[in-house]
Structure 1
Amino acid sequence: MTNASEPNDGALLSVRNLEKQFPTSSGTVRALSDVSFDVRRGCILGIVGESGSGKTTAGRCILRLIEPSGGEAIFDGVDLFKLSEKELRAYRRRLQIIFQDPYSSLNPRMRVGDIIGEAIDTHRLARGAAREERIAQLLGRVGLRPEHARRYPHEFSGGQRQRIGIARALAVEPELIIADEPVSALDVSVQAQVLNLMQELQQQLGLTMVFISHDLSVVEYLCDDIVVLYLGRIMEMGPAQEVYANPRHPYTQVLLSAVPVADPRAKRDRIILKGDIPSPLNPPSGCVFRTRCPYAVQACAEIVPPREDVSRDHSVACIRQAELAGQREFENQENLL
């Protein structure tokens, strides 16, 4: 992952200065502001944050399921935002999405085979017996049986329906998949099964993925890189292991404090935020996190913090991050004495 303003040669997707505003009767909602990140080819990027942070909006803007207000999305050297509808249609095969709700995203009046086969038909990838064989192979790849093609979505469990959604996304052999909270509607035990399946498919097929979630424990398990969003702005981003080991933004530390610890003897101090996320109709001046940040000072209300590198691929948008990092290091040394 790079923090440069130019697209990264090692990335399949480079998003630069993404903006999205929604006009409403009460004013303009700034859903995304100056969002830039890279998705490395063959890797999984996690986008995390609370509800209302702009995660889903970012994913849908990239795919142009909703139109962005500004910025670029350079996919394999081509800016998706500059393509006409006709030109974009050719890229639909290379970019797919797995939706959050595995029930509402599947047409209840269509059989599973037709749901999966719809994209195959649209892109004219196979016909007749070859089409049926392709559908059977896709069902097998996601852990279902060929005869399931004749059933309707309501005949399956939530986890099975999400497997159907994954098979549908894989049907056109995409290069990039955006997974929009694909396990949040599932039971915990089923979540693990679907996550394992997604990890296996990503490794077997060499897929590049953007995984959107509010759950950092899920992102830690699956992702290579992390982007932390808050009220439409990036607070921190970098390699997953480094962000988990050395979170530099107060908001990232809050999210990590809520992640369960596997060892019952281990203790993690939970950081509780005061208040709710502010309205995007009237975001705070300066740093958008300052109204809930325990370390905010007056300057935080006056300056929109630029993202600054703390290591080669790790950047943070906080004017006090260096000071706070030094304070935490001193406290850690004190605890060791």
Structure 2
Amino acid sequence: MSTLINAPQPQAAPLLSVQGLKVHFPTGSSRNAPVVRAVDDVSFDVPRRSIVGLVGESGSGKTTTGRALLHLIRPTAGQVLFDGQNISGLDEARMLPWRRRMQIVFQDPYASLNPRMTVAQIIGEALDTHKLAQDRRDGRIRELLERVGLDADHRKRYPHEFSGGQRQRIGIARALAVEPDFIVADEPVSALDVSVQAQVLNLLLDLQRDLGLTMLFVAHDLAVVDYLCDEVVVMYLGRVMERGPTRLVYETPRHPYTQALLSAAPVPDPRAPRQRILLKGEIPSPMNPPSGCVFRTRCPHADARCAEAIPPQRDLGQGHYAACVRIDEIKP
């Protein structure tokens, strides 16, 4: 029997699939009280063993999205499929087995660590919760500390005895303790000195490659996302404006918001020709978002059509999508 050598291979199902995710926060107890639409109909996939960047301005809904995926915040609507299973409606008891497979590294490495617990207790708490490595608990803690570049003999110290970068490494070790498949890294280097950021980023990249991790990397620094991520999702006011392979989105951004973000990002050569796109006005309130495209009140290309309906995600090929009614008229 002959074999088609160049036959296309079936694409593996994504580890995580987000479908129509909404997170709305009520502002009062009344049924008619206005709601904050922090995340509003967000959909994207996170392929296995990849790093997907979630970017946007402050208030775009990035952190809320990441936490809703882990049920640290209860979604209002939509589905979160993890390894093909819908985990959206699970209560805390039924979520426990999934929490072993889904972990988070928080933005503030000091606030996320209990100051009254030693490093061994902080990391060991995860092992105890999931009843892992109980017969070799101390040895496992030592292995984890060494894996993230820390001295295993410092496991009896407290968080305040470490630098910011070291505390973040402790947080990473805690996340790795239960051998997860998926990690949400919520701006893990934004609170660190510039000199330390690269070290932590390289550590995350090494861990992802060595352990086969899947990661959602929440960030506002486009250069970091370009360096670290295979794909990128661009959010604005709770909605996805553009998504796709990082290199493709960065080289040919199709949504005006993505173009504006990239035009403001620092470049290695300050003499390189570039045109800065200045956005007018302030980001609207998520309690009262604009009709149609939520970006239209600041978009330099907006016209009457942009207010009529929410633009769908348009398939541009090669896994690249953008939500803009004028996409054919805007130069990449």
Contact 1:261 1:268 in 2 (8 A): no
Q: Structure 1 CA distance, aligned partners of 2:41 and 2:168?
A: 32
Question: Are 1:47 and 2:50 counterparts?
Answer: no
Say which is worse superposed, 60-69 or 272-281, in terms of deviation: 272-281
Matched residue, 1:333: none
> Which segment is superposed worse, 305-314 or 172-181?
305-314
Which residue identity does 1:231 align to in structure 2? L
Matched position secondary structure for 1:81: coil
Q: What SS does the corresponding residue of 1:210 show, helix, strand or coil?
A: strand
The reply to whether residue 64 of structure 1 matches residue 84 of structure 2 is no
1:15 aligns with 2:18: yes
2:244 is the counterpart of 1:238:
yes
CA contact (8 A) 1:225 1:238 kept: yes
1:269 offset after TM fit, Å?
A: 2.0
Among 201, 204, 207, which residue is 1:201 paired with? 207
Shift of 1:112: 0.6
Higher helix share: 1
Q: Is residue 93 of structure 2 the alignment partner of residue 86 of structure 1?
A: yes
Partner of 2:7 in structure 1? none
Alpha-carbon distance in 1 for matches of 2:127, 2:284: 43
Deviation at 1:311, TM superposition (A): 1.2
What is the Cα deviation at residue 9 of structure 1?
4.7
Deviation at 1:31, TM superposition (A): 1.1
**CA distance in structure 2 between the partners assigned to 1:154 and 1:267 by the alignment:** 46
Cross-structure match for 1:30 = 37
Instruction: Tell me the distance in 1 between the aligned counterparts of 2:195 and 2:303.
Output: 43
SS in 2 for 1:22: strand
2:277 to 265, 271, 274: 271
- What does the per-residue CA deviation read over 1:25-59, in whole Å, with 9 as the maximum and x for residues that have no partner? 36111111111100000000110001110001111
Matches within 5 A, 1:93-108: 93-108=100-115
Aligned counterpart in structure 2 of residue 161 of structure 1, from 162, 167, 171? 167
Partner of 2:6: none
SS of alignment partner, residue 125 of structure 2: helix
Q: Distance in 1 between matches of 2:187 and 2:302?
A: 31
Is residue 120 of structure 2 the alignment partner of residue 118 of structure 1?
no
Equivalent runs, 1:309-328 vs 2, <5 Å:
309-325=315-331
Q: CA deviation at 1:185?
A: 0.6
Match of 1:257 among 253, 263, 266: 263
Q: CA deviation at 1:306?
A: 0.7
Matched, 1:292 2:295: no
Match status 1:77 vs 2:80? no
Deviates more, 1:182-191 or 1:94-103: 182-191
**2:310 match:** 304
Name the % identity.
Answer: 64
Q: Give the deviation of 1:264 after TM superposition.
A: 3.5
* Residues 178-227 of structure 1, C-alpha deviations (whole Å, 9 max, x = no match): 00111111111111110000000000000000000111111111000110
- How far, CA to CA, are the matches of 1:281 and 1:244 in structure 2? 31
Aligned letter for 2:19? R
Displacement of 1:298: 1.0
Cα deviation for residue 265 of structure 1 reads 2.9
| In structure 2, distance between residues paired with 1:33 and 1:222 | 26
Corresponding residue for residue 235 of structure 2? 229
User: Residue 299 of structure 1: CA displacement?
Assistant: 1.0
CA distance in 1, matches of 2:156, 2:249: 45
Task: State TM-score, norm by structure 1.
Answer: 0.92
Give the distance between the partners of 1:153 and 1:186, measured in 2 at CA: 15
Tell me the alpha carbon deviations over residues 138-195 of structure 1, each in whole angstroms, 9 at most, x when there is no partner: 0001110011101100011111100000000000000000001111111111111100
- Output the CA distance in 2 between the equivalents of 1:323 and 1:114: 58
Counterparts of 2:271 and 2:292 in 1: how far apart (Å)?
40
1:7-32 deviation per Cα after TM superposition (whole angstroms, max 9, x unaligned): x8520001101011100036111111
Q: Unpaired segments of 5 or more residues in structure 2?
A: 1-10
Q: Is the 8 A contact 1:239 1:314 kept in 2?
A: yes
Counterpart residue type for residue 18 of structure 1: L
Corresponding residue of 2:3: none
Counterpart of 1:59 in 2: which secondary structure?
Answer: helix
> Unaligned regions of 5+ residues in structure 1, if any?
1-7, 329-337
1:185 matched residue in structure 2: 191
Residues 62 and 80 in structure 1, CA contact (< 8 A), matched pair in contact too: no
